[in-house]
Amino acid sequence: MARDHKREAAEALRAVRREVRWKPDKDSAHLQKRKAMGHLGASVTLDDYNGIIRALVSQDNHAVYLYPFGSRDYYAVSGEEEARPWLVLFAGDGTMETAFPPDDMVEYLAKRGFRFLGTVGEIDDE
Quick: pLDDT tens for 78-109: 999 888 999 999 999 999 999 999 999 999 99
At residue 121's C-alpha, the angle toward residues 56 and 15, to 5°, is 55
Which tens digits make up the pLDDT trace of 45-56? Answer: 999 999 999 999
| Mean pLDDT of the region 109-123 | 95
Task: Let me know: does 64 contact 77? Beta carbons within 8 Å.
Answer: yes
69 forms beta bridges with: 72
Q: Kindly report whether the global pTM for this prediction surpasses the value 0.85.
A: yes
Instruction: Name the residue ranges covered by the structural domains of the chain.
Output: 5-123
Give the strand order in the sheet containing 84-91. Answer: 21-22, 95-100, 84-91, 72-81, 63-69, 115-119
Position 97 scores a pLDDT of 95
Which tens digits make up the pLDDT trace of 5-44? Answer: 999 999 999 999 999 999 998 999 999 999 999 999 999 9
Question: Is residue 100 packed enough to be buried (19+ CB in 10 Å), middle (13-18) or exposed (0-12)?
Answer: middle
Position 1 scores a pLDDT of 39
Closest C-alpha to 88, from 56, 119, 124, 46: 56
